[in-house]
Chains A and B, each alone.
Chain A
Amino acid sequence: MTLNAEDHSHLTPGPPWLEALRTEGRCHFAQLGLPTPRQEAWRFTNLAPLTQPRWQIAPPASAALNPGPLPSVVPADHPPSYRLVFVNGYWRPDLSSTSGMPNGMVLTGLAAALIDHADLIEAHLGRLARADTQALVALNTGLLASGALLVLPPGLMLERPVEVVMIGTGGESDPPLAWHPRLLVVAGAGSRATLIEHHLSQTHHQNCANLVTELFLGAGAQMRHYKTQRENPASFHLATTSGRLDRDASYEGFLLTTGGRLSRNEVRLVLDGPGATATLNGAYLVRGQQHCDTTTLIDHATPGGTSSQLFKGVLDDEAWAVFQGRVLVRPGAQRTDGQQLHRALLLSDRARIDAKPELEIHADDVKCGHGATVGDLDDDALFYLRARGIDRDAARSLLIAAFITETIARITDPVVAAAFESLADGWLTPG
């Protein structure tokens, strides 16, 4: 069937408020429908393949498959991370490891958490992600069956990172499967943590993940949130992240995309307390017929906020990348500093890039700017390297690696930076 919200037989009935939320989500989706390029926010990304009548909601039984080896950014000689593993969108407690968590910390499957943390979930779930205006959020809410809950009590400085691993798998004869997991993160005042997401495929089978993430950062909370998406080149990866930063909270995000036939990362961060800081960087490396969409909104709602974004992309073959970055400064959000830079490198004559950096400023005492560049490798730099005896291919690889490294180097966690660097290198030197 086409990707829709009508089939919800896989859902386990939940408490009345959850049922109401799900019903509301399905109603909104029925009204909104899947986005089309006629909508401004989806101008360059066409979800038409998702309307083909063959998608199925992943049945719970499909989660029982063996997902193979599990990734981690943490080297063997480091203390292991706390890890939640999901297969086809369903939580696999047997593969997850959360032992040794500090008091008050919660890291578990969302469905399981409904028993002990219903009030907390009710107070947060669906409060940031907008089901009434965002169709994919509506679809995710309407079909909400699983996900992860991370709660950090106030003041907790978490030393070991949290890793969320989402693996897609399926048999060759199965129809393409879709899942709609939710990530809910509630970081108490003054807490600190590092969250790493891995999205990958075990097989070459086509899947569709429609992920929604909600992040609540309390006053002074510090969150480092890194994501790598390296699903197979047949799959769809749709991720909508909504975060709210309270006073003096800081968020550092990084999106590394190398996978997916069609992927979209839509990130909306509201700086909702004075002095909040949001850093959002990323790199995408795409080839073949991949389509990679990065859409960001930094919403400066209160004074004294700082945001900075640096995105870099490398496109080869017939790849098509989209970058839409919007910085909004609301009336009264004085002393805002909002910076953004997007740079794309086109390696092929058939690659395509569409960028739309946007500023919407309603306050005068602000420093906001954006830059965007598109181009090929610098001929002078290539010549310089070749004049020193480096062959053409090696010189090109060197320059591309240097281009991407600039953004990966901004990851403040050295372990993650090294891991992401090697993922990028892996893309540059395939096989």
Chain B
Amino acid sequence: MTAVSDSMDQVKTITDQKYKYGFVTEIEAETAPKGLNEDVVRFISARKAEPEWLLEWRLQAYRHWLTMVEPTWAKLSYPPIDYQDAFYYSAPKTKAGPKSLDEVDPELLRTYEKLGIPLKEQELLAGVEPRIAVDAVFDSVSVATTFKAKLEEKGIIFCPISEAVAKHPDLVRRYLGSVVPYSDNFFATLNSAVFTDGSFVYIPKGVRCPMELSTYFRINAANTGQFERTLIIADDDSTVSYLEGCTAPKRDENQLHAAVVELVALDRAQIKYSTVQNWYPGDENGLGGIYNFVTKRGACRGVASKISWTQVETGSAITWKYPSCILQGDDSVGEFYSVAITNHHQQADTGTKMIHIGRNTRSTIVAKGISAGQAQSTYRGQVKILPKAVGARNHTQCDSLLIGDRCGAHTVPYIESRNRTARIEHEATTAKISEDQLFYCRQRGLSAEDAVSLIVNGFCKEVLKELPMEFAVEAQKLVGISLEGSVG
């Protein structure tokens, strides 16, 4: 069939496609010595001029980490990671505390321009209402924070977490580790010991954040794992939408990334956390790529609070990530919308946990997994209804799309209910793009490439529509780039 041979060509085109963001910026980095020990932890803490309690917390985490073993339950295979063969801190050399963008290393700004982060947007577009505030993270240290004044007006705190430690120690101390304790899991504990930067957000009572908050993470210096720590607190009756996007320069060595994100939603607060993750996935032979071990968890502490996770995962060689919701407050709501696309030799083991504790708590899970090449994609999720969660409700939909006969798609849900009144529905399907669908589109004049993009975007639509406008466009393009035409 012609469609088939065309598709085969397409597969080859996609296969040969090079990683778009593969460039390296030459910036002198001030690095901690290679390896991990108490001195490195102390070094990081000293570089950040942290208070004593935080150093103690880091050391406690480090000592606990020494007693832990790396988890092996995920459906992932990768060579053992040598945690002593990596740098745990590297900061770009900048003058202390840049007051404006002019003081920032121009090399750095050029990197952002290549990545398309419009840091200068506000100056250029004078008079235009700013819509996105960017807290750009470049190899662990935030270099510029924009729209600060606008946010400060509302009493919103949006700053690098190290700055928050200095300026708002009470808030940080109260909430840091309250959702993901330092002893939580191997990777979160490692992060607790050596986290370098990340964002801190506090939305005061009754405030609706006037713009989408956004952070672009970027891994740069060779052999430097990134260990961000993000903490978002939405006080009573507040609302915030946070965007996280990632690209990384091309490397042949695997890079370790172990981030922790903690969300706290108090009474009637709403947090929407969206991610587009497009880190270097390794080449077509499975060489290189980012190892992404992330702990993301939100606590709906208040009544009628809501946390919504949306993620589009197309990058990384290894993805280990389970954004979760602890539904403590009565009538609280948890949502998880996910698209995970794996190609070549990528492996993704991702999903969510919805822990229903309060009465009338509700959760929705929509997970779409797409596997191509020799990739393995696993949905792993847990829905747990505790005895007091009267009237709890969950609906889960997991769909997998397979492209090619050498990839794998797996679904491993855990459904645990201890309450009679809870209603749980779980549904999972697996399918491929049919020749009929392709034929139908091509017959109407679409190229094989456009046809697959259309079908896959349709498959993911339920999730993509949850993304804020700014991300939806990029996400749709990513979906297209990753898979267009790769059907035979």
Closest beta carbon of chain A to B404's beta carbon, Å: 6
Taking a contact as CB atoms under 8 Å apart, the answer to whether A357 and B424 are in contact is no
Closest beta carbon of chain B to A335's beta carbon, Å: 11
Given contacts A332-B405, A361-B410, are A368 and B429 in contact (CB under 8 A)? yes
Among A50-58, A92-100, A342-350, A380-388, the stretch that binds chain B is A342-350
Taking a contact as CB atoms under 8 Å apart, the answer to whether A374 and B408 are in contact is no
Residues of the A chain whose Cβ atoms lie less than 8 Å from the Cβ of B406: 331
**A358 on the B face (CB < 8 A):** yes
Taking a contact as CB atoms under 8 Å apart, the answer to whether B402 and A361 are in contact is yes
**A14 on the B face (CB < 8 A):** no
Nearest B residue to A339 via CB reads B429
Taking a contact as CB atoms under 8 Å apart, the answer to whether B420 and A349 are in contact is yes
Taking a contact as CB atoms under 8 Å apart, the answer to whether B428 and A365 are in contact is no
Given contacts A334-B405, A361-B409, are A371 and B428 in contact (CB under 8 A)? yes
**A429 on the B face (CB < 8 A):** no
Taking a contact as CB atoms under 8 Å apart, the answer to whether A364 and B415 are in contact is no
| Interface residues of A, count at CB 8 A | 36
The answer, among B73, B424, B427, B431, for a CB contact under 8 Å with A374, is B424
Given contacts A331-B406, A362-B408, A364-B404, are A357 and B428 in contact (CB under 8 A)? yes
Give A364 to B406 CA distance when docked, in angstroms.
Answer: 8
**A367 on the B face (CB < 8 A):** yes
Give A350 to B400 CA distance when docked, in angstroms.
Answer: 35
Residues of the B chain whose Cβ atoms lie less than 8 Å from the Cβ of A364: 402-405, 407, 432
Residues of the B chain whose Cβ atoms lie less than 8 Å from the Cβ of A172: none
**A356 on the B face (CB < 8 A):** yes
Give A353 to B416 CA distance when docked, in angstroms.
Answer: 6
Nearest B residue to A329 via CB reads B430
Taking a contact as CB atoms under 8 Å apart, the answer to whether B427 and A371 are in contact is yes
Closest beta carbon of chain B to A294's beta carbon, Å: 14
**A370 on the B face (CB < 8 A):** yes
Closest beta carbon of chain B to A354's beta carbon, Å: 5
**B150 on the A face (CB < 8 A):** no
Give A351 to B421 CA distance when docked, in angstroms.
Answer: 11
Taking a contact as CB atoms under 8 Å apart, the answer to whether A371 and B412 are in contact is no
User: Dominant SS at the A interface?
Assistant: strand
**B423 on the A face (CB < 8 A):** yes
**B185 on the A face (CB < 8 A):** no
The answer, among B404, B418, B427, B430, for a CB contact under 8 Å with A361, is B430
Given contacts A347-B420, A351-B420, A352-B417, are A359 and B426 in contact (CB under 8 A)? no
Residues of the B chain whose Cβ atoms lie less than 8 Å from the Cβ of A354: 414-417
Give A356 to B411 CA distance when docked, in angstroms.
Answer: 10
Nearest B residue to A346 via CB reads B420
Give A356 to B415 CA distance when docked, in angstroms.
Answer: 6
**A399 on the B face (CB < 8 A):** no
Given contacts A359-B411, A361-B409, A362-B408, are A370 and B402 in contact (CB under 8 A)? no
Taking a contact as CB atoms under 8 Å apart, the answer to whether A352 and B420 are in contact is no
Give A351 to B420 CA distance when docked, in angstroms.
Answer: 7
Nearest A residue to B423 via CB reads A375
**B204 on the A face (CB < 8 A):** no
Give A376 to B421 CA distance when docked, in angstroms.
Answer: 6
Taking a contact as CB atoms under 8 Å apart, the answer to whether B429 and A369 are in contact is yes
Nearest A residue to B376 via CB reads A362
Residues of the B chain whose Cβ atoms lie less than 8 Å from the Cβ of A365: 405, 432
Nearest A residue to B434 via CB reads A365
Residues of the B chain whose Cβ atoms lie less than 8 Å from the Cβ of A357: 411, 413, 415, 426, 428
Nearest B residue to A347 via CB reads B420
Give A373 to B413 CA distance when docked, in angstroms.
Answer: 12
**B52 on the A face (CB < 8 A):** no
**B422 on the A face (CB < 8 A):** yes
Give A361 to B371 CA distance when docked, in angstroms.
Answer: 11
Which A residues form the contact surface with B (CB < 8 A)? 40, 331-332, 334, 344, 346-376
Could you write out 23 A-B pairs with CB less than 8 Å apart? A331-B405, A349-B387, A349-B419, A353-B417, A354-B415, A355-B415, A356-B413, A358-B410, A359-B400, A359-B428, A361-B402, A361-B430, A362-B407, A364-B404, A364-B432, A365-B432, A369-B428, A370-B411, A372-B425, A373-B424, A374-B423, A374-B424, A376-B423
